Amino acid sequence: MINQATKQFILEHENEDPSKVIFKAASLEGVDGKIAAHQITSRQKAKKKLPTWYANENIVYPNKIPLEQSSSEQTAKFKAGILQGEILADLTGGMGIDDWAFSDVFQKVYYCERQEDLAEIAKLNFTALDKNNIEVNAGDSVEWLRTHASKLTAIYLDPARRDAQNNKMVGISDCEPDVIALKELLFEKADKILVKLSPMIDIKQGVRELGAVSHVFVISVENECKEVLFLINKNYDDNTLIHCVDFPKNQSKTEFLFQLEEEEYQEVELATALEQFLYEPNAAVMKGGGFKSIAQQYELKKLGTNSHLYTSQKLVEDFPGRKFEIKAKSQVQKKALQKLLPGMKANLTVRNFPQTVDQLRKKLKLKEGGNDYIFATTVMSDEKVLLLCERINK
């Protein structure tokens, strides 16, 4: 697919500006500059996102959208820890990262993709990666599923979340394929369905609409929510367990679990006064919505009903998020803050506060950065305050 001269050129210039290598390629016989520039751009993105793929010089990268929308190697391997068994079908194959991971835990993986050129590239890449148990099928995956005779262990779907005008879609039935409309067919073929949906989805609504959801996995990488996965089990009719998983930089993953149905009825103690330590849940917990459950499990007090910040007198070292020691409380006034922070430089976060970070930073004339942290929030008495903190990294 890529000739040897172009491939060699890509490897020799992969750390350079892709927009400039085209001109270098123009004077070289047999080198396709346009292909080289695209592959160099893709390899630069894949270096962190897909290290195993990047390390393989025979990998061919499709156009930028499949790479941008694909799972990272890290999240793909996590999914392979959710489902294992004999046969899996992926009805939305894309670049094939998830199938590459699933092939380690399933005897057979069916990759289905309606874009023939993308399916062809995936087939080449699976060969380059020595994945011999993945069968590539190009065409309509729903039609393939209807005519597939044998029973499957599980089905995986990552429905397209953009319409014909390239607008982002969040609702389940707005995505393609429509999992809700296909549910009967899916359960004819498999007892387990894993669906990846928009990080913007309302989890409670998703559980209601899909039905039979046993687990929801909210995955964040370096405190940015990347994926929300719904595991649907045939005939399941019990509580839904929410897994809030974060992969911090240079640290082992954290996981916080809570029952979705129990969260509504949990009691949480509101702080009548600030204690020594402050806690901010990570992005996965914030998206998962276990705000009462996390207070219960870690014996914390909530600063305000809607603030989603917590305090305690004793340090909770394994809290899934950022931890701080509270040094002082200030009114939301420049003069008051300046007495506590003469340099007027700090990392600013707002939680349940009427102004944005930029608006408040401008009002206070506060510079960004340094080792100090300020939380602007609303406490139980409905008082707006600034909390000056020192981060705890252990």
Instruction: Write the DSSP assignment of 72-111 as a string of letters.
Output: PHHHHHHHTTT--EEEEEESS-TT-HHHHHHTTTEEEEEE
Question: Of the residues 238, 267, 296, which one is the last residue of a structural domain?
Answer: 238
pLDDT (0 to 100) of residue 26? 75
Same domain, 208 and 152: yes
pLDDT (0 to 100) of residue 321? 96
Structure tokens of 391?
Answer: 């981060």
Question: Of the residues 215, 238, 261, which one is the last residue of a structural domain?
Answer: 238
Question: Of the residues 183, 218, 238, which one is the last residue of a structural domain?
Answer: 238
160: CATH: 3.40.50.150
Q: Per the structure, how many domains does the chain have?
A: 3
pLDDT (0 to 100) of residue 163? 57
Query: CA-CA distance, 41 to 54, in Å (whole number)?
Result: 12
357 located within any domain: yes
pTM recorded for the entire structure? 0.93
Same domain, 173 and 100: yes
Structure tokens of 295?
Answer: 């207070």
Structure tokens of 310?
Answer: 């917590």
Q: Which domain holds residue 223?
A: 69-238
pLDDT (0 to 100) of residue 3? 85
Place of tokens 């046969």: 87
Same domain, 287 and 154: no
267 located within any domain: no
Q: With CA atoms as reference, report the closest residue to 56 among 92, 108, 116, 7.
A: 7
Q: With CA atoms as reference, report the closest residue to 146 among 116, 110, 188.
A: 188
Which stretches of the chain drop beneath a pLDDT of 50? none
262 located within any domain: no
pLDDT (0 to 100) of residue 167? 58
Contact 152, 190 (CB under 8 A): yes
62 located within any domain: no
pLDDT (0 to 100) of residue 169? 57
pLDDT (0 to 100) of residue 44? 94
CA angle 117, 120, 123 (to 5 degrees): 155
pLDDT (0 to 100) of residue 171? 77
Same domain, 188 and 298: no
261 located within any domain: no
pLDDT (0 to 100) of residue 348? 97
116 located within any domain: yes
Contact 316, 300 (CB under 8 A): yes
Same domain, 77 and 40: no
60 located within any domain: no
Same domain, 282 and 384: yes
